[in-house]
Structure 1
Amino acid sequence: MTALLRRAPLVLPLLTVVIVLAVATDSFLTGGNIENVLVAAGIVALPGLAMTFCLAMGEFDLSIGSTVSLAGVVCCSALIAGQPLAVALALALGVGAVIGLANGLVVTKLGVTPFIATLATLVIVRGVSLAYSGGHDQIISSAGLKYLVGGRPLGVPMPIVLVVAATAAAWWAMNRTRFGRWVCAIGSNREAARVSGLPVDRIRIAVYVLVGTAGGAWGLLISSQLQKGNGQLGLGFELDAITVVVIGGTALLGGRASIVGTVLGAVLIETIRNGLNLLNTPPAYQRISVGLLLIAALALKGLRRADATAIATPAREAATS
């Protein structure tokens, strides 16, 4: 049990929240409601897995919420124009990849810090999304697109199938490939990684493309749920994507990642949101809860670093005396 808690520290907080909500409302521990929580968590976890690589690299992408909006608008507009579903999906994912590529090039080739570069992209892409949609909903009725969220292959909701497959792929890439090791090496010490001969810029660009593509996929899932695209969709989504990664145990400053932790972080956040909904809590408090979770996770990591420093300092002094 102790080993499990070390590998997945969110298990205990998640169980605590589940017990509290089970006592607070009879509607929580029902099969349909648990499925709703897992579906919502799967939709958030998919971009969170991509963001895990970005944070493990010591960087982050603030533009993912705007990417959600533009990808959804492009997909729905293509369907309205009579394009096949496959073309609409490819366009949305392509939009995300291009946005990620632009972020990667600006950060690596122009030397702009990730915060400024992706913040600027957030504003630009949001403006493009509003201009492209003309400020109007792109309403559709597409059974094929609806399948992304409403489908049930072998009786399992499609978002759960997608996140299980994505989690397995992300875990393998992070823990069993050179790419994952290189990402963490760059997050630990970028200059040392460069001196060691790692293709640092190419890896950074590839990670931004991955995040952008994941943002496009997120936009498809949201448009699948709502059956529409809108220039205002995705507001604040960047906070969700970063929060599930940070509370899941990935180091904000890079060098360490937890794929399973990211998925558990998504489940924890969506469990809390679901419980607040069942308790008729105003939506504003759901955003507050996400912000508080992020602060708590960062504060806990700060305390752990302080404790580690306090323990290590006397040992170093003893060794040198």
Structure 2
Amino acid sequence: MTVVARVVKSAPLLIPLIVVVAALAVAAPQFVSGQNIQNIFFAASIIVIPGLAMTLCITMGEFDLSVGSTVALTGAVTCTAIVNGTPTAFAVGLGLIVGAVVGLVNGLIITKLGVTPFIATLATLVIIRGAALAYTEGRDVIVNDAVLKYLAAGRPLGIPLPILLAIVAICVMFWVTYYTRFGRWVAAIGSNRDAAGLSGLPVDRIRITVYVLLGIAGAIWGILISAQLQKGSGQLGVGFELDAITIVVIGGTSLLGGRAAILGTVLGALLIETIRNGLNLLNVPPAYQRISIGLLLVAALAIQAIRRKVPLEALDEKK
């Protein structure tokens, strides 16, 4: 196997990312400026944290549609607590707890009530969004807090804090997914949930844990967005769940479960934010940007479908 073939197999998005970067560098010369490249990494770092948690969920053969609503609710709760005089650290902790509770509720509905993940998280998407709007009474909660702002604008070691958080999250998720018993259990459930249960794995407990982790990741997403905007709002996070799912799927994690692609998720976040950034520089309207992301998702799903069919067709030819 050649070096190029190995790279394509281990990181299939690397070549498309290079092609997109090269094309945008020609179409928009300002794209390759140091500040703009940093902006791309900054945006990708914020989306990759929930994307990593979504990778675990999809590896398990499930997904969560309520992440975008969790972003809104946790951001609103955190900012409201700060406005009401709660120390920022406690307000952030409260937001994380809210995210964990949302994940716990999702996990319990799915495992104990037997509701499918699509229906359960679609319902909680609506409920949590409504709760966020009711909590803020439909208004933006404006804050002017230096500590909260530091979460988005701080630069320890000269590196934006969200990028450092993303690096830590990526390293931890690599370790958890590929080198721990928990990661192997998640993949086993995605491959065959019934067989995993028969082999003695605590299937329901693992599924609930993954949803709690996803809720916390959504809360981090919401807090970072609110820190960047210096406001909480029930309108934040609309469509964010599709972004999180898209970076996972285009990164190569199978929707059928059983196989995770952590590096693919990271490259997926970089690819989406590179495209989004380049289209902004080219003054492409936001509606067409959404269309481009949707087309990426369709292409990724088509590629997965083709990969599933090819082995079967090969077997048929042998027969």
- TM bucket (normalised to shorter chain) is over 0.9
Alignment of 1:289-304 (within 5 A): 289-304=292-307
Q: How does 1:131-280 map to 2 (within 5 A)?
A: 131-280=134-283
Give the 3-state SS of the residue equivalent to 1:241 in structure 2. Answer: helix
Structure 1 vs Structure 2 CA RMSD: 0.8
- Partner Cα separation in structure 2 for residue 157 and residue 76 of structure 1: 21
Match of 1:19 among 19, 22, 46: 22
Instruction: Show the counterpart of 1:50.
Output: 53
Q: How many residues align?
A: 316
CA distance in 2, matches of 1:268, 1:262: 10
Identity of aligned residues (%): 64
Residues in 1 aligned to 2:184 and 2:291: alpha-carbon distance in whole angstroms: 35
Of 91, 102, 107 in structure 1, the residue corresponding to residue 110 of structure 2 is: 107
TM-score by length of 1: 0.97
Moved more, 142-151 or 49-58: 142-151
Shift of 1:2: 2.1
Q: Report the Cα distance in structure 2 between the residues aligned to 1:306 and 1:66, rounded to whole angstroms.
A: 36
- TM-score, L = length of structure 2: 0.98
Instruction: Give the gaps of 5 or more residues in structure 1.
Output: none
| SS of corresponding position for 1:117 | helix
Q: Deviations over 1:10-56 (max 9, x none)?
A: 00000000010001011100100000000000111010000000000
Q: Counterpart amino acid of 1:144?
A: V
Mean Cα displacement is larger for which, 50-59 or 285-294? 285-294
Corresponding residue for 2:97?
94
List runs of 5+ in structure 2 lacking aligned partners.
Answer: none
CA distance in 1, matches of 2:302, 2:108: 33
Runs of at least 4 residues off by over 2 Å? 312-315
Match of 1:311 in 2: 314
